[in-house]
Amino acid sequence: MPKTITLQLSPKQAADEKFYLARAAERLGIRQSDIALARVIKRSIDARQRMAKVNLSLEIYIDKEPMPAPLNFDYPAVDNGTEVIVVGSGPAGLFASLRLIELGFKPILLERGKSVLSRKYDIAQINRGGDINPDSNYAFGEGGAGTFSDGKLFTRSKKRGDYNKALQTLVWHGANPEILYEAHPHIGTDKLPRIISNICHTITEHGGKVLFESRVSGFVVKNNRITGVKVGDNTIEGAAVVLATGHSARDIYELLHKEGIAIEAKPFAMGVRIEHPQHLIDSIQYHRAERGEWLPAASYSLVSQEAGRGVYSFCMCPGGFIVPAMTDTRQSVVNGMSPSGRNSAFANSGLVTEVRLEDFAHLREEWGELAGLRYQQLFEELAREHSGERQVAPAQRVSDFVAGRASKSLPRTSYIPGLTPSRLDEWMPENIGARLRSGIATFGRRMKGFVSDEAIVVGVESRTSTPVRIPRDSETLMHTQIEGLFPAGEGAGYAGGIVSAALDGERIADAVARYCKAHNF
């Protein structure tokens, strides 16, 4: 049996393998040469003290003990398997497809956007203030919304086995094995595209199909059973349909609504993106002027209750960039991403508050279950009215936002299309703006320096979660009304983030397999 030990080290010592192996041997009372294999199984930073420490847990194999078997994913060939349609190549759709292959089914993966290579070009255009391709942007295209992101791999799921398998799947497809033991693993936007295209390659190599620029615009439903989907003038048939279109696919919600297929309005969250100079967050979190060479860019996670509702930070991107995440020119929507080295001069994070059903009750009569979606859209359009040309976003210094005064100028930003000073404190709906202002003031009391002239709020962060749920049966995981339709991932309202969407995709694939077997498909 390997021995497990945890060492508390300085950041420099934790980066020095020779040093920590010597320390481990000493702790175990063995010679360093007796160590046949040492695996880091967990690494976390404890920055509560003046001098930050790294807790490093190691699994030590001594001499000829049996080593762990190398990781191997043995996907079968599914060329002749039952065809299952998967709509959307985000984490939910990709992991559903991989799991379907493991189970012997042939996924036909339909993606409205382009492959990552062509998508990169469209994204560069958006950043340059060019046109927004409604099918190829930060939300749509190979890999979905997670491809050009920070690639944080966080989940609240308690199923560690499933979580570890998801991380190992990413490592198998090219992610750095460090994600297996980091306390807060992330991949980075420079690495994600290659991993995503490797996953698509696995799908096609084993007999599945991946079809880009294939936007689903209709469902083929007979006697309350779905038998296929429409892409342009073509009909594609399959034994079941996994609908994993993400929360930006408004046309899909509208289509379901129009076809009388049940959807439900649900609470969600909206707010702003907040950006600080990274050195400011480092100095607050590490209690010193300079973070130095060995510590990573610092992050934070904040939550408070303001006037009876939660206000919280979300999708923090240390050393990152704010990006234009709209899917259409009529909106102003921002989000965040970071490269693997998290080495930009800025720290950004979503700062959002709950939006409840009563906030959009006035839209219910006209919009029915799409009322929350409409409320979200109006918020984004309001932000657009206060924006500049193209993707120039409205922004205010954090100190001014909290104090309720105009910003005459703005500090430097990571947001490439540029910013225009705007009174976010005035034009945001009261239920959002007032809570954010008092929430930020609360955070400023906890993190001295958080409310700063050097920091900005940028409008708007509106796509943190979906305002619509596509209901599914809790046992079969199938749509409550349409047989063979399996809503999955974030857009269906059952996930939030890359890993939870991936895990939901896997679960849905298992449910599809049960359904197909029960019906001999």
Ligand X SMILES: Cc1cc2nc3c(=O)[nH]c(=O)nc-3n(C[C@H](O)[C@H](O)[C@H](O)COP(=O)(O)OP(=O)(O)OC[C@H]3O[C@@H](n4cnc5c(N)ncnc54)[C@H](O)[C@@H]3O)c2cc1C
List residues near ligand X by CB under 6 A.
87-93, 110-113, 138-141, 144-146, 148-152, 154, 215-216, 244-246, 249, 252, 315, 323, 325, 335-337, 489-491, 495-498, 501
Tokens 């910013």 -> residue = 419
Q: Which residues contact 345 (CB under 8 A, 6 or more apart)?
A: 277, 278, 279, 319, 412, 414
Closest alpha carbon to 397 in 379, 432, 422: 422
Pick the closer one to ligand X by CB: 319 or 421: 319
Pick the closer one to ligand X by CB: 39 or 257: 257
Pick the closer one to ligand X by CB: 246 or 394: 246
CB of 497 to ligand X, least distance (A): 3
- Classify burial at 265, counting beta carbons within 10 Å of its beta carbon; exposed 0-12, middle 13-18, buried 19 or more: buried
Pick the closer one to ligand X by CB: 137 or 442: 137
CB of 213 to ligand X, least distance (A): 9
Cβ contact 246:135 at 8 Å = no
**Amino acid at site 121:** Y
CB of 214 to ligand X, least distance (A): 6
H or E stretch at 324: strand 321-324
CB of 200 to ligand X, least distance (A): 11
Q: Which residues contact 390 (CB under 8 A, 6 or more apart)?
A: 129, 130, 417
Q: In whole angstroms, what is the distance from residue 458 CA to residue 406 CA? A: 14
CB of 408 to ligand X, least distance (A): 30
CB of 413 to ligand X, least distance (A): 16
Pick the closer one to ligand X by CB: 323 or 355: 323
**119-139 CB burial, b ≥16 within 10 A, e <16:** bbebbeebeeeeebbbbbbbb
Q: In whole angstroms, what is the distance from residue 237 CA to residue 357 CA? A: 37
Pick the closer one to ligand X by CB: 174 or 444: 174
Q: In whole angstroms, what is the distance from residue 303 CA to residue 314 CA? A: 9
Pick the closer one to ligand X by CB: 57 or 176: 176
Pick the closer one to ligand X by CB: 407 or 466: 466
Phi–psi pair at 316, nearest 5 degrees? -70, 135
- Three-state SS for 249? coil
CB of 109 to ligand X, least distance (A): 9
Cβ contact 192:123 at 8 Å = no
Cα torsion angle, 482, 483, 487, 493, sign? positive
Joined together, the tokens standing for residue 365 give: 């009569």
**288-326 CB burial, b ≥16 within 10 A, e <16:** eeebeeebbbbbbebebebeebebbbbbbbbbbbbbbbb
Pick the closer one to ligand X by CB: 341 or 449: 341
Q: Which alpha helices (DSSP H) does 37-178 contain, by range?
A: 91-102, 116-127, 160-172
CB of 178 to ligand X, least distance (A): 16
Joined together, the tokens standing for residue 142 give: 């190979």
CB of 251 to ligand X, least distance (A): 6
Pick the closer one to ligand X by CB: 139 or 455: 139
Pick the closer one to ligand X by CB: 38 or 337: 337
Pick the closer one to ligand X by CB: 141 or 484: 141
CB of 27 to ligand X, least distance (A): 35
Q: Which residues contact 445 (CB under 8 A, 6 or more apart)?
A: none
CB of 256 to ligand X, least distance (A): 11
Tokens 């269906």 -> residue = 492
Cβ contact 263:471 at 8 Å = yes
Q: Which residues contact 49 (CB under 8 A, 6 or more apart)?
A: none
Pick the closer one to ligand X by CB: 14 or 383: 383
**Amino acid at site 251:** D
Q: In whole angstroms, what is the distance from residue 499 CA to residue 61 CA? A: 30
CB of 232 to ligand X, least distance (A): 11
Q: Which residues contact 289 (CB under 8 A, 6 or more apart)?
A: 283
Tokens 């003046």 -> residue = 50
CB of 451 to ligand X, least distance (A): 25
